[in-house]
Amino acid sequence: MNKDKTRNLRQALGSFPTGVTVVSCLDKNKNPLGFTANSFTSVSLDPQLISICIDKESFNIDSFSITKHFAVSVLSEDQQSISTTFATPNEDRFQNVEWRTEDTGSPIIENAVAWFDCNTRQVIDAGDHLILIGEIIAFDSSPKTPLMYLRGNYVNLGLEQKMLLAMENENTKIVVGAIIEWHKKVFLLKDKTNKSLYFPSASRLGHIDDNDSLLGILKNLKISINEHYLFSVFEKAEDKTSLIYYRAQVKEALEDMDDYFYPFDDIPFDKLSDEASRIMLKRYIKERELNAFGIFVGKESEGKVEAISKK
Ligand SMILES: Cc1cc2nc3c(=O)[nH]c(=O)nc-3n(C[C@H](O)[C@H](O)[C@H](O)COP(=O)(O)O)c2cc1C
């Protein structure tokens, strides 16, 4: 299949929202192995079967193709960093992760939303992947919110809901802003003196027909965006304003928009209106390179991404 077709297929498949799991087993020396997988599916209730698909190019394919047991841990929304760890090449992914074993000895991630400890029932050859069918020997689940994956992005359902509630509360002072990208360029507005640059923002996310809302302002600037994702939530120390930033990609831009878009490698950071914006934009560019976005929750002065549960 040519590159375009593969990309289009990935895009189409990515429009099916999934959870995120870590699939794990022990190698022949009893070392824990694991990788991030969203191909987890329930297969049968009687007998109790689940399946996952593993890429034949996978570093640990030899162990997974012959393992007699494996486990699947469903990650919670504050375990996004674990998902990243298990999707990134690393000698020992379990080093900084808490895990335990249950019946089969396969590693199970602590505090997962649910886990399934399995005997391998079948390994099916399927194109460039193997399908592992597991017979569930033990399992458990909790009411935690699962991490979700959609169109190549992690989606934080719990935080989105909290933000919507905060936005509806009239007593909370809120600024809603957007980091908008178009072909590795970022959209910034200039103040009247032409000295300072800032992200478009408003007091609410709103709707394209609401002129004072962020979506209305963008529409009036003739910027049409695809879906937007939560990127940063923080509180301004001086006046306790809550700042909520989304990220989005331009769907269609007018030809004369070039004036407003700054290439990633040529952004006049010193002109950005405040330090929080600088930190956010630097983080955005870094995460775009990795194509793995996190959600920052915390104080404006801090540059690191925190687990949402620590809020
Ligand atoms: C959200 C997400 C879902 C993934 N799902 C799968 C999957 O179902 N099967 C798979 O083989 N790789 C999947 N991957 C990719 C692997 O996690 C990644 O390639 C990992 O590095 C493979 O392990 P290895 O380094 O041991 O080869 C997924 C990655 C992410 C971020």
Q: 226 CA to middle of ligand 1, Å? A: 26
Give the predicted TM-score (pTM) of the model: 0.68
Give the model confidence (pLDDT) of 55-97 as tens digits: 999 999 999 999 999 999 999 988 988 998 999 888 899 999 9
Q: What percent of the chain has pLDDT over 90?
A: 54
* Among protein residues, the one whose CA lies closest to atom 6 of ligand 1: 37
89 lines ligand 1 (CB under 6 A): yes
Kindly report the length of the chain. Answer: 311
- DSSP per-residue letters across 97-163: S-EEE-SS--EEETT-SEEEEEEEEEEEEETTEEEEEEEEEEEEE-SPPBPEEETTEEE-HHHHHHH
- DSSP per-residue letters across the chain: --HHHHHHHHHHHHTS-EE-EEEEEE-TT--EEEEEES--EEEETTTTEEEEEEETT-TTHHHHHH-SEEEEEEPBTT-HHHHHHTTS--S-TTTTS-EEE-SS--EEETT-SEEEEEEEEEEEEETTEEEEEEEEEEEEE-SPPBPEEETTEEE-HHHHHHHHHHHH-TTS-EEEEEEEESSSEEE-EE-TTS--EE--EES----TT-TTSHHHHHHHTT-EE---EEEEEEE-TTT--EEEEEEEEEEE--GGGGGGEEEGGG--GGGBSSHHHHHHHHHHHHHHHHT----EEEETT--SPPPGGG-
pLDDT at 155: 79
How would you classify residue 117: left for phi > 0, otherwise alpha for psi between -120 and 50, otherwise beta? beta
pLDDT at 185: 93
38 lines ligand 1 (CB under 6 A): yes
How would you classify residue 194: left for phi > 0, otherwise alpha for psi between -120 and 50, otherwise beta? left
Look at residues 218, 234, 227, 310 and name the one whose alpha carbon lies nearest to residue 279.
234
* Among protein residues, the one whose CA lies closest to atom 5 of ligand 1: 37
Q: What percent of the chain has pLDDT over 70?
A: 87
Which range has the worst mean pLDDT, 92-96, 192-196, 282-286?
A: 192-196
Decide which of 241 and 13 is more confident. 13
Residues 99, 32 contacting (CB under 8 angstroms):
yes
pLDDT at 309: 30
Instruction: Taking residues 102-129, report their average pLDDT.
Output: 98
The answer on pLDDT for 304 being more than 60 is: no
Find tokens 């090449």 and name the residue: 89
Give the model confidence (pLDDT) of 268-280 as tens digits: 999 998 888 898 8
Residues 112, 125 contacting (CB under 8 angstroms):
no
Which of 10, 22, 35 to mutate to test ligand 1, by most ligand atoms within 8 A of the CB atom? 35
Residues 115, 73 contacting (CB under 8 angstroms):
yes
Going from the N-terminus, what domains does the chain have, and what CATH number goes with each? 3-150 (2.30.110.10), 156-300 (3.90.79.10)
Q: How far apart are CA 141 and CA 281, in angstroms?
A: 38
Looking from the CA of residue 129, the nearest atom of ligand 1 is: 11
Number of alpha carbons in the 13 Å side-chain half-sphere of residue 123 = 17
Give the model confidence (pLDDT) of 141-156 as tens digits: 998 989 998 877 787 7
Per-residue pLDDT band at 311 (split at 50, 70, 90): very low
